[in-house]
Amino acid sequence: MNTSLESVKNYVLLGPPGSGKSTQATKLKEALSLSHVDVGSELRKLAESETDLGKRIHEVINIKKELVSDGLIGCVVEHVIKGIESDRGVLIDGAPRRISQVDEVEAALASHGRKIARVIFLDLSLEEAVKRISIRFLCLSCKKPFIKKEEMSFTCDQCGGEIGQRQDDTPEGVAKRYEVFMSETRPVIEYFEEQRILLRIDARLLPDEIFDILMKKIA
């Protein structure tokens, strides 16, 4: 494929818990041959590596158990982008999560001649996020997932283990995660809205409907 760097499109994907972000990331990645930069999983992967960057991340997340600094987020994005073919677009997921990370992410892209074409925000209310996530249960032994139903057994049909819920998925846990995400990320959303590159999507729609809208608007 003969693609000039100018036509390579780079995207950022934002959304609160329950917005279906990973489903859309997978679909977009396949449909547009994008390289999916999942910042959270890249951090965990790098922390296991014996590189200088990996050691720095390991120190912060596993030893000090602190939040990764904005500068380090920028380093991770830069490090991952460096390894991507220049004619392939990227989909950044998990950053910038705070307004202070915007410069870092933009600089990391710019250092490889890239810029953000569109920022996709999957918008979901707190009420809807709670409704969607708090029905998620799992077997506490084998981790098989269950969706809460009227008549749900309390033992796992796979291993006989007890069925329970992750603390993060209880209504209180979801509300807490949602509030943290929104308070940190709202300024980021407003910033990209001012830049006129924000695409706000109603995440209550079905996954296929969301994907159709995305393909019409960004591809």
Rounded Cα distance between 60 and 26, Å, is: 29
Identity of the residue numbered 18 = G
CB 93 within 8 A of CB 21: yes
**Which of 139, 198, 203, 214 is in the footprint of Zn ion by CB under 5 A?**
139
Rounded Cα distance between 199 and 197, Å, is: 7
- Between 143 and 186, CB nearer to Zn ion: 143
Residues 152 to 191 in contact with Zn ion, rule: CB under 5 A: 156, 158-159, 161
- Between 146 and 178, CB nearer to Zn ion: 146
Rounded Cα distance between 164 and 145, Å, is: 10
Give the interface segment with Zn ion, choosing from 56-64, 78-86, 102-110, 133-141 (CB under 5 A).
Answer: 133-141
Q: Are strands 90-93 and 35-38 parallel, antiparallel or unpaired?
A: parallel
Tell me how far, at minimum, the Cβ of 164 lies from Zn ion, in Å. 11
Tell me how far, at minimum, the Cβ of 219 lies from Zn ion, in Å. 41
Q: What is the DSSP string of 46-86?
A: HHTS-SHHHHHHHIIIIII--PPPHHHHHHHHHHHHHTS-T
CB 196 within 8 A of CB 116: no
Size of the site for Zn ion (CB under 5 A): 8
Per-residue tokens: 25? 């990331």
Tell me how far, at minimum, the Cβ of 139 lies from Zn ion, in Å. 3
- Between 147 and 206, CB nearer to Zn ion: 147
Tell me how far, at minimum, the Cβ of 135 lies from Zn ion, in Å. 18
Give the interface segment with Zn ion, choosing from 14-22, 26-34, 112-120, 131-139 (CB under 5 A).
Answer: 131-139
CB 169 within 8 A of CB 133: yes
Residues 197 to 216 in contact with Zn ion, rule: CB under 5 A: none
Tell me how far, at minimum, the Cβ of 144 lies from Zn ion, in Å. 5
**Which of 107, 110, 142, 182 is in the footprint of Zn ion by CB under 5 A?**
142
Task: State the residues that interact with Zn ion by CB under 5 A.
Answer: 139, 141-142, 144, 156, 158-159, 161
